[in-house]
Amino acid sequence: MVALPALYTTPMTQVVLVGITCFATVGMFSAVSNLGAGGTQDVALSDESQGVLYGLFALTGLISGGINNLLGPKITLFIGTLGYALYVGALWCLQTQGTRWFLVFAGAMLGITAALLWSAQGSIMMSYPLEKDKGKAFAVFWAIFQFGSFIGSVIALAINIRTGGLNSVSTSTYIAFLVIIFVGVASAFIILPPNRVVRADGTIVRLDTTTKVHEELVAMLRLMKDWRMLALFPMFFASNYFYAYQGSVNATVFDGPTRALNATLEGAGAIVGALFIGFFVLDNKYMSRRNRGYLGLAVVTSMIIIIWAVGLSWQVTFGRNYVTVHGRPINYHDSDYKGKGALFFFYYFGDACYQALAYWIMSALSNDPFTLARFAGLYKAIQSAGAAGSYGMDAVLHPLLNEHLASWSMMLVSFPLAFLVIRTIKETSYEEEKVVYVDDVATKEMEEAGSESEKEGEDGGKEKESVKSDVIPVPVAASLEA
């Protein structure tokens, strides 16, 4: 086994690396999606492709954790990145060639591959760090990942402003996105498996790198019977439900450059929200782990109530016919834009905190990467089922007010059930789980190497004795005569 630099094998380095992978793939997908109907301005087509995407995402998510455990995180991540390149390419083809069917097909492929990527990502982010650092791990990952959305939105904003307010996304924008995505595809190969990662306390994440098919089937059946996972289903379901609503508002009310600006503010809000909740709430070193969970739940609940109440006060003033009523969409120079950008910022600030709490609760239930890969897969499956439902609701043009109230009420229902799960969190899970220290592994390897050397030495000695016994003594005189 090749020796690796100590910094490279640390959990936080691996979290940063998987963040970079998602920065360049999922981040670019988020950026182009936030431009309003994926940059297509065809809300119905975008909703159709997104519905197919999240529908297959939900189905694949049920088994994606097992696939990750069978293939390992590196291969799973690589496969998972490919769908993002295909989808952005399909958006480009739609704009230049009008190939509507290809966008729906790309959405289906992305749904399958994205489930694999997020299962591998969830396993790494939740299992590699120490228990006291899991909030920080989410904050670092989410900030890097959302920075991709932020940078992509800045690129789109700059390009679209230069075009003089072109409503459709320019070709150069898609090219910039695709170049960054292919960098992300290549970066998947630098991720380490759990047996090569060493935590600060000297423990290895896990010695085994893969499992067997029958083990995964049994483990998934057990997972579906865990009442804690069932109690978290409403939180999982609600965690992406509001994206369709927010994207529809962005596409309905604002022009092209302003949609790009809103997407930039969303990325900034997600980054700030993740850093806030991860460093200052969920990993507060002055509180016990369960109390940190209670504090996180209280903070997230308060933010969701305040932010969405403000959003409701604006939503009741308009509908899907905004442009028809007002004559044109809102531009960021207009006086009507005041406060709207801040709302989009805080929508995603709250989203980051909500997702952080969900991930933190799951990571507090186990430290095993295989178990957490299954958790992540189930989380993304239920989350994607909710997203598919929300895009389906938006596709049939339900009133935006109905979508707002549905999204908000689902989050509010999830909080009491999350409280019940947090009550079961223990101060540590290390005592119940098998912990392996890297020094013990090194000692064992040295002992095995030593025993093999001794065995080889003994075998060599026996061979020498055998050779000696096979030699027939020859009299000196005879040897001289010969």
Q: Is the pLDDT of residue 29 over 60?
A: yes
Does residue 397 sit within a domain? Answer: yes
pLDDT of residue 176: 83
CA neighbor of 367 nearest in space, from 36, 96, 123, 66: 123
Residues 277/352, Cβ–Cβ less than 8 Å = yes
Average pLDDT over residues 350-367: 97
Taking CA 187 as the corner, what is the angle to CA 181 and CA 188, rounded to the nearest 5 degrees?
105
Q: Is the pLDDT of residue 329 over 70?
A: yes
Can you tell me which residue has the tokens 């050779």?
467
Phi, psi of 437 (to 5 degrees): -95, 145
Does residue 476 sit within a domain? Answer: no
Does residue 329 sit within a domain? Answer: no
Look at the chain and count its residues: 482
Question: Which comes out higher in pLDDT, residue 196 or 458?
Answer: 196
The least confident of 1-10, 251-260, 422-431, 460-469 is 460-469
The least confident of 16-20, 207-211, 276-280 is 207-211
CA neighbor of 370 nearest in space, from 9, 197, 122: 122
pLDDT of residue 466: 47
- The set of residues, in sequence order, having a beta carbon less than 8 Å from that of 361 and lying 6+ positions away, is 232, 293, 418, 421, 422, 425
Q: Is the pLDDT of residue 479 over 70?
A: no
Q: Is the pLDDT of residue 472 over 50?
A: no
Q: Is the pLDDT of residue 478 over 50?
A: no
Does residue 228 sit within a domain? Answer: yes
Q: Is the pLDDT of residue 263 over 60?
A: yes
Distance CA 467, CA 474 (A): 15
Give SS3 for 436: strand
Does residue 473 sit within a domain? Answer: no
At 406, the pLDDT band (50, 70, 90 cuts) reads very high
Can you tell me which residue has the tokens 């306390």?
201
Does residue 254 sit within a domain? Answer: yes
Does residue 76 sit within a domain? Answer: yes
Note down the domain range covering 148.
Answer: 11-319+336-437
Average pLDDT over residues 288-307: 97
Does residue 481 sit within a domain? Answer: no
Task: Tell me the CATH number at 76.
Answer: 1.20.1250.20
pLDDT, the chain, mean: 86
Distance CA 278, CA 143 (A): 10
Burial bucket for residue 225 (CB in 10 Å: 0-12, 13-18, 19+): exposed
Element (H, E) at 110: helix 100-127
CA neighbor of 297 nearest in space, from 428, 135, 419: 419
Average pLDDT over residues 81-94: 90
pLDDT of residue 374: 96
Query: Based on the structure, what is the number of domains in the chain?
Result: 1
User: Per residue in 45-75, pLDDT tens?
Assistant: 777 887 888 889 999 999 999 999 999 999 9
Q: Is the pLDDT of residue 417 over 90?
A: yes
Most distant CA pair in the chain, distance: 123
At 163, the pLDDT band (50, 70, 90 cuts) reads low
